[in-house]
Structures are given as C-alpha cells and as structure tokens.
Amino acid sequence: MPGARFAELPVTSIEPNAKQPRHVFDEEALEELKTSILEVGFLQPIVVRDVGDGRFELVMGERRWRAAQAVGKETIPAIIRSTPDDAMLRDALLENIHRANLNPLEEAAAYQQLLEEFGATHEELARRIGRSRPQISNTIRLMNLPAPVQRRVAAGVLSAGHARALLGLDDSEAQEKLALRIVAEGLSVRATEELVQLAVADGPVKKTAPARRAKVHAPALNDLAERLSDRFDTRVKVDIGRNKGKITIEFATVDDLERIVGMIGVEDEGARGEESGE
C-alpha cells in the first residue's frame, strides 16, 4: 500500500521509540495482552520505521512488542512506514481493509487500530467502508470477548452473529460456556440470542429474590423487539411482567447513544426548547 509495507520482523530487530510518552505500562493489561497473543495470535500489527542496518524503531504498538517478547515470540507482524504523513498511512490502511479477506476479529482489531492509533472517526470508517456506525461499533465490541471465544471467532468456528449475541452476557465465564454449547449443539444465531435473553432475564432474579416473579410471555414481543432492533440498528429487548414492562436498547459508544437518542427525537425536542427560550 502507498506509504507503507507489511512484514514479519524479528522482535530483536526492533527498538523502542525514545520519544514514547508512556513509560509505565499497566501490568494487568499486559498480562491480558500476553494471554490474547498466546490464545489468538497477533490481531493488530505494530507500526515501525526503518532506521537502517536491519533495525527498526517503534512508532506505535510498544505494549504488543513487549508482550511478544514476554511470551517468547521470535517475530511480530509490522507495518513499516515510509512516510511521516499519518493521514496518508491511515488512508492506505482504510483502503486496504476493502481488499483484505479479514475474519470478524481481525476486522474489529483493524477498526480499533484505525480509531486509536491513526485518529480515524466512526463516521469516517462508516463512510469509507460502506457500513453504518452501529455496525462499526458492534464489530469493535468483539474485542471485549474472552480470549478462548475470540480464538473460535478467529478460526471461523463461531460467526460474527454468534459473537455479537454473546456480548449480551456480562460474565466472561458464561460467555465461554455458551460458546462451547453453540459449537457442540450447532446452535443458530437466533437460538443463541434467545438463550442470552433468558440468561439475562433469569440472572438478576436468582441473585436477588428466592421467589421468581411470573413473566408474561406474549408472542408479539419478539416481533416488536425485532422491529425496534431494525429501526435503531442495534439490539433491543422487550420484557413484560405482571404489572409493568421494560424496553432495553443497547449502544456501543457515546456517539452511538447520541444517534439513537436523535432517532427517538429527544434532541429535536431539546433544540425546539432552546429556540423558544424555554
């Protein structure tokens, strides 16, 4: 790609950037990254510049480089930049996503890297890649899955739809158990979503009350939830009990929340109130 080339570099040929502002690295986060590298492999390449004589200087990704050394990796994937222009390098990476045959987890890592290291925005990613902002945000959320689940997604054993459904569970152990069940029983994405909804609905009741409240099961609720999900382009759950009901709308980022609020019309009402001097 213009402004950069990709290579597998020996970790010993890379030296840290003397101008790196971060000198203290979170040990717990580093341990998680080491586990991820051992379980899943490298999802994001580091960025280096060629300083001659087979040596390279880190530009981005010192945590990944440190973690690679700690787990005994001999090589690490790297983008060798040949231009000081960050915008050109970012644009080259954006264009390359179109041509690369990435699995869902690699795609999530690429989006995250473009957002965090190259200053891209959700809007820019959505426009350049031809996807909606919620799709971008929900794909990035796959990076929050535990390493064993990420490994199955990377291997194609679990689909992106299965992985997104698992994100509805807050507990990583529960995510891993359901992932195993998906593989063992060949569960569909829809069946997985229903199991997640049941787990979320039952979980708080088991923890807080010995007697479970009876829930009203209305066939139209699933249809309503699906229509709302399509409307807001995100997961929506509709629950109803004996005396009251609840609608839960999930969002991935603050930008995503603002988008949903705007669709509901709250922002418009606030704007009218300001214009009228209220």
**Would you state the structure tokens that stand for residue 176, as one six-digit string?**
């891993």
252, 134 contact by CB (below 8 A): yes
Residue of 160, 157, 156 whose CA lies nearest to 131: 160
- Cα gap 126→108, rounded to integer Å: 13
Q: How far apart are CA 169 and CA 203, in angstroms?
A: 10
Q: What is d(CA 151, CA 166) in angstroms, rounded to the nearest whole number?
A: 14
Rg (the chain; Cα; Å) = 22
- Active-site hit among 32, 62, 124, 194: 62
Distances in Å between the Cα of 100 and the Cα atoms of 33, 106, 224 are 24, 10, 37
Residue 92: Cβ within 10 Å count: 19
Rounded to whole angstroms, the Cα distance separating 252 from 258 reads 11
- Answer yes or no: 62 catalytic: yes
Contacts of 184 by beta carbon, 8 Å cutoff, 6+ apart: none
- Positions annotated as catalytic residues are 62
